[in-house]
Amino acid sequence: MSLYKKFSPNEIVCLSGEHSDDLFIIHTGKLMIFVNQGTKITPIAYLGPGEYVGELSFFDKLPRSAHIMTIEDTTLIQI
């Protein structure tokens, strides 16, 4: 079963360390995957429509390894 979830710009989708095994496919919009150390933010990737995110936790059932934030209005398909 899948579920469409809508997000506004600059919303946090997932936080590093969270226990979640949701996988997301980007339907519309853009995401930034990043890590931080104190106030320093290091972008890892920018993803757009057709790409997916959350696959590591989906398969290995370990906590999230990075933060995910929307860059613009975004719709994700949650699996």
Q: Domain boundaries in the chain? A: 3-78
User: According to the model, what pLDDT value does residue 5 have?
Assistant: 94
User: Residues in the chain with pLDDT < 70?
Assistant: 1-2, 55-61
Q: Yes or no: say if 55 and 65 are a contact pair by the CB < 8 Å rule.
A: no
User: According to the model, what pLDDT value does residue 22 have?
Assistant: 83
User: According to the model, what pLDDT value does residue 4 have?
Assistant: 95
Instruction: Say how many CA atoms lie within 13 Å of 32 toward its Cβ.
Output: 15
Eight-state DSSP code of residue 39? T
Domain 3-78 superfamily per CATH: Jelly Rolls (2.60.120.10)
- Rounded CA gap, 27 and 44, in Å? 20
59 three-class SS: helix
16 three-class SS: coil
